[in-house]
Structure formats: structure tokens, C-alpha cells
Structure 1
Amino acid sequence: MRRPAFLRRLGTAGVLLAGLLLAVPVQQTAAQAAVTATTEPSPTPAANPGVIASQMQVTPSAYTGPCDETEFGLSHQVSANITVSAPMTVKYVWVNQQEMPWPGPEPVSVTFDAPGTKTVVNGFVRATSLRGYMRLRVVEPAGVPETQNAVFDTVCVKPTVSDISKQRTDENEVCGAGRLAELTLSAKLTVTDGPSTVGYRWYRRSNLTRNQWVYLGAGSTTFTSTGAQEKTISTRYSTGVSESGYFKVELSSPYQGLGQGTFIVTCSTKNDL
């Protein structure tokens, strides 16, 4: 093939120079493209899910007493707030003191049609003592911080009174004016758990009270350990005349229970029943 006339006039050196001149714009374009590619901004990270879990509570948070509110035990309520910044469905689980999802692994859903806050609630019952905590964990969307632990302490005391008895403690063979019959009244108080303090009241009903219960006095006793425990409680009563009737012990609020026993005081002899 014959070269064009202008290349024949340039010769071999001219051909090489022309090739270099034609290549320069292509190299510059590639370099410029490389610079442009490295200076583009990195993609913007995904926005925060806009979900907040807060206000975790267990009610009652502290309780000591009989756990017989229902036939299954004392009712507890767990609750927390979930706040969202946009319409969405939030899935969550409760987490107990064993660090396990409660009441099971399957999450619960709550749907928001608009931004706002909803309170989610669940409940459980206890017939025996339990000290623990609960918190709420958002499963979906991911990345939402869990609530703080809500600590609770339930002590199911279930106190009972039994073995009401009396003992004559004076030295008088017979009783009367200036020679009172002194009686020590006692009862066994039992709790299923502690620590707890149990209040009680003593009453008397006899032929001298027209068969009405008459208040004798009150007291309280403290159980400092955990687990089942018992103590003996007592009070004193004196009379100068013959009397027959009943003594009883009532447990103070919030406890329930009573114990009752009979007595006879015969002022003609110390051998009372």
C-alpha cells in the first residue's frame, strides 16, 4: 500500500512523531477518568432504624406477703415503651433473669401506622418467691439498644398460725382481788419464705366480754433468713375472777390468717384447763 503524500514527505521519523501526537489525547482521557473515579464520594450509610425501647417496668417491683391474689399466684405486669420515627412493624421479645427470651423464642409484633409511642405489656403469676429481672429486646429492625433491666423481688411469705396455747404462771393457789391469775399465751407462727416481718394481734372472747372479741395487744416478729421458718410468739393476760372463753391471733395486713384456742380460769383452784 502506498503512503499518503504528506507521510512520504515526512519520512520514517515523521511517521513515528505523528503516531505519538495521535496517542496523547487518548492517554490523557484515560488518566482523567481514573482521577474522576477516585474522587467520587463514598455511598451514604443507611439511616438509623429510628426505634427506641425504654421505660421497662415490672409491677410490683417489690412485694412481701401471701401470693394468693389469684388461684395461680400473685399477678405481675411487665411493660415497656417502644417509640418509632416512621410507620413500621417492630418485633420484640422479653428477656428474663436467665438471659432467655420469655415466654418463648418467637417475637411479638406491634405495628405503627404513624410515628409515635406505644406501651407493650405482658404478665406472669408467682405462687413462690422469685428475685429477678426483665428487659425488652427489639429483634426487628436490628441494631436497636435493649432496655435497662427492671429488677423485681417477690417474697411469698404465706404465714400461718397454729398451736395456740396458754400456761398459768402465777404462784397463787386461788385467784381473786390482789391475787391475779397470770397467763402466758403462745402460738407458733410459720412462713414459707423470707426475709419478712409479720405483724399480729391478740384477742380474747369470754363470758366476761359478752361473747365479743376484745383486743389484748399487738406485736411483730422478723424472719431474717430465706426459706421456710417458724417462731413462737407470746403475750400475757391476767384475771382475778373465774373466766372461760377463747384466745385468738390474727395476722396483720397485708397478711391473712388466724389461730384460735380455748381457755378456762377457775379462781377456786390453780388446776385450770
Structure 2
Amino acid sequence: MNEFHRPIRNLLAAALVLAGASCSTIEVREDEPVSSWVARDSMKRKTEASVRIAGDHIAGRPVGQFFQRHSAILSDGGSPTLSVAKPGGEVQLMMPTTEGYGSAVSLGDGYFLTAAHVPVKGHGGLFCIEHSGRPVVRSYRVVWKDKSADLALLQADADVPAVKWATESALGNGASVFTFGFGGGEWEPSQGQILGRRPTGEADRHADLKLTAPVVAGDSGGPVVTADGKLVGIITRADYRWVRAFGRAWTRSGSHTTRPDIGFLEDVIAQDRASHRQ
């Protein structure tokens, strides 16, 4: 989750030029808060990684097109607005100045998975690109939340293709993953590996996976996928390891993804579908 202190504009073309992360040192000012240089370093790493993987493909699509096809941006306290210069032209997205924003991933049939700490109160808007290629902003409702696992399920009247779930066998330590989110006011990916996992959430039914991929504020709720485009989970938080000595800082920024109990989540969706057909 992240907050806007002023309106921002994001130009979306048919294909996005995307960027992500590297290992290097950064200078630290004596009076600079740790949180400031950690955020600066994480943004630098994500941007560098995004540049490196911009030409990569996932499931046969350029990495940007793949994520654009399945992702969404959400805000609360106001709805994003769209302006299209001409049919097939660039889309200008204006985010509201209130509350905050985050990212989400489509599970199909208008259902989206995001992080519970993203401000999803149900009176904001969700920006996505539908299956037809049309950019839209839709209102959404909150179907389910598990704050202890940092998961939330939303539903909107939007036709966005789902990402298929990765199998457990594909999620061993060292497996390569891609992340994607709207951190920094731009849709950008990063890349890393799975380092480990632990149970989380109510009844320990969900999984928290530690990653080497860097993320920044605003990426929360964005998709994490395997190299072949299968969904691992959603971005929930950044993870930093750092040492400060002799006026320099060596940092390694990573992240965490929460993977829901898929059977449990499918039951929640099925019950919600049934209740809204009545």
C-alpha cells in the first residue's frame, strides 16, 4: 500500500516498457533516516531489475503484456479517472489524492486477490484492462479478508483473465519468480527466487513465502508468478537486510508473498457466487 500526496498520471500504451533489482552499495547521509535510504535503495534495485527483464517473456507474452493482462490498480477514498485521447491511443490514468493505492491480481469472473493492508473499504475504484483490451475503472466490493494472513478478496464487474495457480511442486527453494505492482506510480516488475516458507493466517492455513525480489510501497497486492506464468500469491511486504559501516550501506532488499489455501479460497468464491445469484 502507498499514499498519494498529489495526483499522479500514468501513461499506458498497448505494451508497457517495464523495469526491477540489483546488488550494489548506496551512499548514506549522516542525517538520513534509515527508512529513507532503505526505500531509495529498494526502488533503485527494482528499477534496475525491471530494465533487465523488460525483454523477457512469460507464458509466451512480453513480461509487461502478461502482467498488464492480469493485474489491477486499486484506490480507496475516491475512484481513479480515465481519459483516452483517441480510440487505440494512450490512456491517461489520474489517481485520487485521498487515502492510498495498491495492486491486485485477477482470479477470473470479476474476483481479485490483494493484500488486506491495502485500503480496501469498498468505496474506491479498481482500474484494469479487460479481456477485450479496453481500460476501465470499476467499483468493487470486499468479499473476504484475513488480516493475519494479509489477504483480501474483492469482486468487481470486470472481465479480466485469470492467472492459473502454480502447483506446490513448483514452489521449492530457489524457484524463480516474477513480481508486479504499481509501486512508485508505475506498473513495473521485478525478479527473484523463493528462499523459504512458513504457515500464516487463521488456523495456519495459508503460506508466507520469502523472496529475494525487491518491491516498493504500492506493489502490495500485486501478483507473484513462476517463470511459466502460474500464480504463486500476492505481494504482502518488503524485507530488508542491511549493514551500515564507514559511511556506506550494504543492503539486500527482498519481499514476502502470501499464498492462500487455494481450496479454501475457491470455497469462499463459490459461496459468494451462490449468494449473489439468489
Question: Structure 1-normalised TM-score?
Answer: 0.20
Q: Which has the higher helix share?
A: 2
| Greater length-normalized contact order (CA 8 Å, ≥ 6 residues apart) | 2
